[in-house]
């Protein structure tokens, strides 16, 4: 759906999935996608290439953003919806030499095929409507992500939930069982239970970018809060991790 002279919204099952501005791929119109961009920006040195695996593609907004800000970044997108990918490639073409490769596989199969310690960032942002695939939030999946990441690597996962955050507590429990360092960001209204919202979880075997994201949250146009350590335990603790069937 056209949103402007050079911008488009990709909508699936009645839910907006992506906003793409062909003239300015660094424009991240959705607030949670802007926060995801903040996480990616915090990894390594500004402008330097970064190896990223995106689980979920839709309009390829974040891959386009990375290609514009960090040229020569090798990016793999795991997107099983072949018809959607063909539509996006036709109507919202990728720039030449973008470094973006889309593989027509689901997230778990795609992750299993990747080499150990081959990736800086695994970004999980996959939905069927407003619900994420169940096999992407299990202990087994998080262990597979940990295998794929190098020693400096981060998992960035987007989920949607509302207070009292029953699903988020289960997802956080599973992530913390695999990764010792975890932070979570969300809009203040979501944390206060006023409305559902996007909860972004960043996890690592090393350190997570708490200071960098708090600085970005304090100066950005759209306010958000960054929780770590005891604050994550207090607000999102006590869950039972999901296991594979």
Residue-by-residue pLDDT tens, the chain, 245 positions = 565 678 878 877 777 788 898 999 999 999 999 999 999 999 988 889 999 999 998 899 999 999 999 999 999 999 999 999 999 999 999 988 899 999 999 999 999 999 999 999 999 999 765 667 899 999 999 999 999 999 999 999 999 999 999 999 999 999 999 999 999 999 999 999 999 999 999 999 999 999 999 999 988 888 899 999 999 999 999 999 999 97
The DSSP-derived string for 218-243 is HHSSS--EEEETHHHHHHH-S---B-
Tokens 């073409």 sit at which residue?
93
Residue 40 burial (CB count, 10 A) = 21
Q: Mark out the alpha helices in 31-123 (DSSP H runs).
A: 31-42, 61-69, 82-91, 107-112
pLDDT at residue 153 in the model? 97
Interatomic CA distance for residues 94 and 60, integer angstroms: 9
Is 143 within 8 Å of 178 (Cβ atoms)?
Answer: yes
Identify whether the C-beta of residue 139 lies closer than 8 Å to the C-beta of residue 177.
yes
For residue 6, report the phi and psi dihedrals to the nearest 5 degrees: -125, 10
pLDDT of residue 15: 73
Kindly state the tokens that stand for 56: 């979920």
Q: For residue 92, what is the DSSP state?
A: S
Query: pLDDT value at position 5?
Result: 73
Task: Check whether the bond before 164 is cis (ω within 30° of 0).
Answer: yes
pLDDT of residue 3: 59
Q: What span, in angstroms and rounded, lies between the C-alpha atoms of 105 and 102? A: 9
Angle between helices 61-69 and 31-42 (to 10 degrees): 40
The pair phi, psi for residue 165, each rounded to 5°, is: 65, 45
Tokens of 201: 């979880």
Contacts of 98 (CB under 8 A, 6+ apart): 63, 64, 67, 75
Spatial distance between the Cα atoms of 90 and 124, rounded to a whole number of angstroms: 24
Cβ partners under 8 Å of residue 229, min gap 6: none
């Amino acid at each position: 759906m056209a949103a402007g002279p050079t911008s488009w919204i990709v909508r699936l099952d009645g839910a907006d999935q992506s906003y793409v501005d062909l003239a300015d791929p660094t424009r991240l119109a959705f607030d949670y996608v802007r926060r995801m961009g903040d996480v990616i920006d915090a990894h390594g040195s500004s402008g330097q290439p970064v190896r990223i695996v995106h689980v979920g593609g839709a309009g390829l907004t974040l891959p386009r953003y990375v290609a514009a800000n960090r040229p020569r970044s090798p990016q793999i997108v795991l997107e099983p919806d072949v018809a959607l990918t063909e539509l996006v490639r036709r109507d919202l073409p990728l720039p030449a030499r973008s470094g973006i490769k889309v593989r027509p596989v689901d997230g778990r199969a795609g992750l299993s095929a990747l080499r150990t310690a081959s990736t800086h960032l695994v970004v999980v942002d996959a939905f069927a409507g407003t619900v994420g695939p169940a096999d992407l939030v299990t202990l087994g999946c998080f262990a597979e992500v940990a295998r794929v990441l190098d020693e400096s690597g981060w998992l960035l996962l987007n989920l949607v939930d509302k207070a009292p955050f029953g699903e988020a507590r289960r997802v956080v429990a599973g992530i913390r069982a695999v990764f010792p360092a975890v932070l979570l960001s969300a809009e203040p209204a979501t944390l206060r239970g006023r409305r559902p919202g996007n909860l972004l979880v960043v996890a690592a075997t090393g350190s997570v970018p708490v200071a960098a994201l708090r600085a970005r949250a304090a100066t950005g146009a759209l306010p958000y809060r960054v929780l770590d350590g005891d604050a994550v335990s207090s607000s999102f603790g006590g869950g039972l991790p999901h296991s594979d069937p």
